[in-house]
Copies of this chain bind each other. A is one copy, B any other.
């Protein structure tokens, strides 16, 4: 001891500044290291010490990697999900009208008008205020919905099957950008478009899907689009085109040429159309990893515009909640950051499955839609590997020499590194009726992960 203290020495310090300050005052060279203790405290310790965890997480990853996603049908939500009149689904964790944000309220109003449960927005609001409609998260039915994610019985749904588990997942048809229900708009053009989708587009897609002998393999298309500059959340351009290529010949053979031409223009004119197939494919991937005791892998990340909720494999369908953050990015027209609602939608299921914000290195051109720089996009994907259990070789990122997408967010890694999952997302106007105001980047609140680690700790045997 004496020998050490009698020598001249230099020191590195970590944590609180007290020690560093004391050394420097005594003239001793001391370098402060940027370090903070991991969040999660004793809960994190208990989960890390859980002997089941390592094997459980490996199993969760393996199940994700071996999942599939075939488009098996297109049909109304009333048939697909047994959704009855007066039952609406929505994005994110559970919410009631009183706490709902502007875009969620706008979408619910649009849904009331579309279902002819109200004759005016005012009447719709009055019914919704009195909780005259049963609201339930999409995720509770195995479904997913972008942005407000409102699903009503008359909306047509894509039905996807994972042959590895027999699980199914569903998502409504994408309406395009701008003034649309999912961004909270409810003007007559919104309702007219939904009417056409119900009466023409849905039945035509059903006809095409049912006429094919082989199911469209949505996962295989995702694998291709990752090689074509799409990341599957805010770029779905190549995916949309491949979907059209695979389905349109069957629609041409079976439908009226006027209707098919209009449908082809509608789908082809909406680069995001395929998002509503990517999302249920990602849901099937994470669903395959659900309910593995001891696993700290995240299976759901979803937002309702007010709360951000996550679920983990080891904690089943329990929600862990924190406040939804407001994205930063690029704004449409004259909109500014002031106009943006906090984060909303089930589309973060893409990041939960390793694409979207996690695979932005595959889609450098996306920075022109969501902001940031190309090096940022590459750095983001590299950073996400630090919080993931593994990599998905099916989603190989060309510029990273086909390294697989970072897959299987591990709650313990998020807490130990302090790195939050990177989500890229559309931004809804915070006032009901506005529609989309931009697109950008956002992270979940850390509170959701500290709550999740507590939930996992409670279940340690």
Contacts and interface: CB of A to CB of B under 8 A. Distances in A.
Contact of A244 (B237, B245, B257, B260): B245
Contacts of A238: 228-229, 237-238, 241
Contacts of A246: 268
A164 to B, nearest CB: 26
A365 interface: yes
A19 interface: no
A6 to B, nearest CB: 48
19 contacts: A227-B229, A228-B230, A228-B237, A237-B238, A238-B238, A241-B245, A244-B244, A245-B264, A245-B268, A248-B248, A248-B264, A249-B268, A252-B264, A257-B257, A364-B398, A364-B399, A374-B399, A374-B402, A375-B401
B228 A249 contact: no
Given A248-B248, A249-B268, 6 more contacts: A227-B365, A245-B268, A246-B268, A249-B261, A249-B262, A253-B261
A394 to B, nearest CB: 14
Contacts of A244: 241, 244-245
B398 A229 contact: yes
A363 to B, nearest CB: 8
Interface in A220-267: 227-230, 237-238, 241-242, 244-246, 248-250, 252-253, 257-258, 260-262, 264-265
A373 interface: yes
Contact of A249 (B227, B249, B264): B264
Interface of A: 227-230, 237-238, 241-242, 244-246, 248-250, 252-253, 257-258, 260-262, 264-265, 268, 364-365, 373-375, 398-399, 401-402
B242 A253 contact: no
A252 B245 contact: no
A398 B227 contact: no
Nearest to A250: B261
Contact of A241 (B241, B252, B365, B375): B241
Contacts of A364: 398-399
B241 A265 contact: no
A258 B253 contact: yes
Contacts of A245: 241, 244, 264, 268
A399 B248 CA distance: 32
Contact of A252 (B228, B260, B375, B399): B260
Nearest to A264: B249
A230 B225 CA distance: 12
Contact of A399 (B257, B260, B264, B399): B399
Contact of A261 (B230, B252, B401): B252
A335 to B, nearest CB: 24
A253 B262 CA distance: 9
Nearest to A373: B401
A225 to B, nearest CB: 9
A252 B256 CA distance: 9
Please name the 7 residue pairs, one residue from A and one from B, whose CB atoms are nearest each other, closest first: A241-B241, A364-B398, A245-B268, A227-B365, A249-B261, A228-B229, A252-B261
A319 to B, nearest CB: 37
Nearest to A266: B249
B253 A265 contact: no
Contacts of A248: 248, 264, 268
Contact of A398 (B261, B265, B365, B402): B365
Contacts of A398: 229, 364-365, 374
Which of A229, A246, A250, A257 has the largest count of B CB atoms less than 10 A from its CB? A229
